[in-house]
């Protein structure tokens, strides 16, 4: 059974940094592209970042480009999101997600971790 478990969320001041982690299990991690999706409180969904299985392809939303860095450790079946220069508008639940082979459709989501950026 596919499991995606995020950790690392919390309260951080504007301008601060946070690193999110996602532990994957129940599938062959190296076979899948992975993504981070976020949802601001009471709002809709926003695609944040996408990373291929071999790390050869990485995309970022314009809203986070230059501030966020996605990475993965295939040996540990883990996905990461390093978030720097955080802003109030980055406040959201961040979901780790597995992509259907061949695109950016998500077939499995983690439970999410809340990031709050506030002074």
Partner 1 sequence: EIVLTQSPATLSLSPGESATLSCRASQSVSSYLAWYQQKPGQAPRLLIYDASNRATGIPPRFSGSGSGTDFTLTISSLEPEDFAVYYCQHRNNWPPTFGPGTKVDIK
The contact set with partner 1 (CB under 8 A) reads: 44-47, 50, 59, 61-62, 95, 100, 103-112
If the CB atoms of residues 23 and 61 are measured against partner 1, the closer one turns out to be 61
Given 3-state DSSP classes, what are the helix, strand and coil percentages for the chain, each rounded to the nearest 5? 5, 50, 45
Give the nearest distance from C-beta 50 to partner 1 in angstroms: 8
Bridge partner residues of 75 (DSSP): none
Task: Give the residue with the Cβ less far from partner 1, 11 or 58.
Answer: 58
- Minimum CB distance to partner 1, residue 28 (Å): 17
- Nearest Cα neighbor of 19 from 55, 62, 70 is 70
What is the nearest approach in angstroms of partner 1 to the Cβ of residue 63? 9
Cβ distance to partner 1 smaller for residue 32 or 50:
50
Exposed / middle / buried, residue 114 (Cβ in 10 Å: 0-12, 13-18, 19+): middle
């Amino acid at each position: 059974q596919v499991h995606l478990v995020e950790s690392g969320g919390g309260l951080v001041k504007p301008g601060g940094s946070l690193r999110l982690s996602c532990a994957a299990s129940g599938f062959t991690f190296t076979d899948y592209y992975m993504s981070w999706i976020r949802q601001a409180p009471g709002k809709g969904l926003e695609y944040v970042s996408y990373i291929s299985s071999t790390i050869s392809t990485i995309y970022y939303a314009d809203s986070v480009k230059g501030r966020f860095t996605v990475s993965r450790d295939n040996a540990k079946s883990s996905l990461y999101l390093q978030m720097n220069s955080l802003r109030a508008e980055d406040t959201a639940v961040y979901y780790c997600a597995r992509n259907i082979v061949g695109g950016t459709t998500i077939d499995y989501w983690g439970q999410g971790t809340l990031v709050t950026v506030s002074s």
